Amino acid sequence: MRKHGLSLSGIALMVSILFLGGCWDRSEINDMAIVTAAAIDKLDGQSIELTLQLFIPKALGGGSGSGGGAPSGGQQLTFVRSGKGLNIADAASKLQARLPRRIFWGHCKVFILGEAFAREGVKEEMDYLFRHPQPRERAFMFVSQGQAAEMLRPVPPLERYTAEVARELSEQKIGIRVTLKEFLEMLDGEGQAAALPYLRLQPPQKGEKKNQSVPFIAGTAVFKRDKMNGLLTMRTTRGALWLRKEIQKASITVRLQGTKREFITMTPIRQRIEIKPRIHDGQWIIHVHIHTVGDLVQNGTNLDPMNPDLLHLMEQAVQRSIADRVEEALDRLQRNLNADIIGFGESFHRAYPKPWRQARERWDELFPKVQVRMDIRVNIRRPGLGSVPAAVPSDEVKEK
């Protein structure tokens, strides 16, 4: 006969449920100082300055249906506060002592490193952000020209606050795009080199307020181990992005020699990039294969792109432009900075694990000597709706 009733284990489970109610460590939102962005600067001596951009909840006006968080009465959505200390933890502690709410890092979208701080070495301070349970691993990283704190103070005319500007710039993939996790992984990678987008402030335009400066990406900060040791311009950054297989949105404008009107612009729509390492007779070689397909978005020449031979001339000009940018990036990284932000070391590690283990400690010596052989192909698939270049007299159009 089947017995009815609760077993001892069932009774124990019901009793234990009584002790699980409530959240013993919960934090009310009204008790939080929500961080939207953080800047880290090096001061004279050994001091660190931590600057936080903090959200102002009351600026939303109590949710009056203003369409997703527009500030009430023209109020700012954020304010900026700074603290100084021997390291980030010390500076955060001293900053916390002057705030009525508990600092909460969970919504911090952006970390900006001042250039002076970046050049002194960042790994020790990054350890705080990595160990702390709140900062997002997917927060975007930047290096700023001058003091990083100055990037947080302006009130941009288009976005709600500067953290949004920086985040949108990263999402657009105009330059290199790096998160906190990716930055730490690069520093610990085989090449022991890393790169972060480099921010500058665009001064306000005529008629705008003095505090309406806008950050923009002006290149790439290159790190050797944990210290910034140089910069790439936007042109050389584009070359590095081709090598890193990260080129996304770009317009390539090139000059065609020997034509009455000389410039064309192509926008790549898809590409296939292969990096193939090879070791032959003691020489370390990288074969770079780039095949890109794009649209001809502007034809400023008198050439008819519907003619296959003339279209081929345009493709060759774009091909040379890509090759020049890649070569400039390689020359800067190998000869001047000796920083493998491209990942050649990782490629050799995967393809030749045993030789790599023997050569890893000498990578600083080997990387500048790596031969890079390029094979670049460009195809313009869609030359536009009209065959004749716009606004060019028919008697000037070169059709063959």
User: Would you kindly state where each structural domain of the chain is located, as residue ranges?
Assistant: 31-62+72-232, 244-400
Continuous segment of H or E residues that includes residue 142: strand 140-144
- Global pTM reads 0.84
Which whole-number Å values give the CA distances from 361 to 189, 356, 364, in the listed order?
13, 9, 8
Q: How far apart are CA 80 and CA 28, in angstroms?
A: 22
- 244-400: which CATH topology? GMP Synthetase; Chain A, domain 3 (3.30.300)
Contacts of 398 (CB under 8 A, 6+ apart): 259, 302, 303, 304, 310
Single-letter code of the amino acid located at 142: F
pLDDT at 15: 61
* Closest residue by Cα to residue 35 from 112, 89, 126, 104: 104
CA contacts within 13 A on the Cβ side of 218? 12
Classify strands 32-42 and 102-104 as parallel, antiparallel or unpaired. Answer: parallel
Find the helix or strand (DSSP H, E) in which 342 lies.
none
pLDDT per residue of the chain (400 residues) written in tens, 0 to 9: 445 555 666 666 666 665 555 554 556 677 889 999 999 999 887 899 999 999 988 766 654 444 444 454 456 889 999 999 999 999 999 999 999 999 999 999 999 999 999 999 998 888 888 888 888 889 999 999 999 999 999 888 888 888 999 999 988 888 899 999 999 999 888 888 999 999 999 887 777 777 788 899 999 999 998 999 999 999 999 999 999 999 877 889 998 876 556 789 999 989 999 999 999 998 999 999 999 999 998 888 888 888 889 899 999 999 999 999 999 999 999 999 999 999 999 999 999 999 999 999 999 999 999 999 999 999 998 776 555 555 555 555 555 5
Kindly report the backbone phi and psi dihedral angles of residue 102, in degrees, each rounded to the nearest multiple of 5, phi listed first.
Answer: -75, 130
**Distance between CA 52 and CA 45 in Å, rounded?**
21
Sequence-ordered list of residues with C-beta below 8 angstroms from that of 44, at least 6 positions apart, any chain: none
Q: How far apart are CA 219 and CA 196, in angstroms?
A: 9
